[in-house]
Amino acid sequence: MKTNTCLSIAAALLLVSCSGNNKSSNTEVENDSIESVASVDMSGQWYLENIVVSDSLSVRPSDIAGDARQYISFEDSTYFIQTNCNTFSGPYAISGDSITLGDGIMTEMACDNMAAEDAIRQILPNIVTVSVENDSTARLNCNNPAQYILLRKAAEKK
């Protein structure tokens, strides 16, 4: 009789442990309710308007060399930055409003005024998000809200 009782208890435990839980976990419910966010479109060329390193230090590339086209372009998962003197390039990825600018290469020519290059070198590794307003102005934001790069969309070539 004791054997039958032990077998009955073991069978009941086995049956309970094998039966599935029909309730969704909290994680599954949360993931189902999250809507996918469209990624920001940064493709094309954007002029460097202002590079803000801190509340007291900013660089306006047009003030350094007004006749030089200083810009950043985003094409085929690669960014390319042209300043009045040097260039930067590397991989980038955008997901929603998050942007990652990967390590890349930079030319290292000595120039009379390297303020733009110095500011970009300080800020570039810290850029984490991008915001676009009216498809013509973009802001590359850093972890520190006082640091950012302001961009203006270049007119498309026709």
Please determine, for residue 66, whether its predicted confidence score (pLDDT) is greater than 80: no
| 69 — pLDDT class (breaks 50, 70, 90) | confident
Question: What pLDDT is attached to residue 157?
Answer: 59
| 31 — pLDDT class (breaks 50, 70, 90) | very low
Task: Work out the average pLDDT over 116-136.
Answer: 94
Instruction: Answer yes or no: are the C-beta atoms of 104 and 72 closer than 8 Å.
Output: no
How is residue 52 written in tokens? Answer: 């803000």
Question: What pLDDT is attached to residue 30?
Answer: 45
Identify residue 19 by its one-letter amino acid code.
S
Question: What pLDDT is attached to residue 13?
Answer: 42
90 beta partners = 79
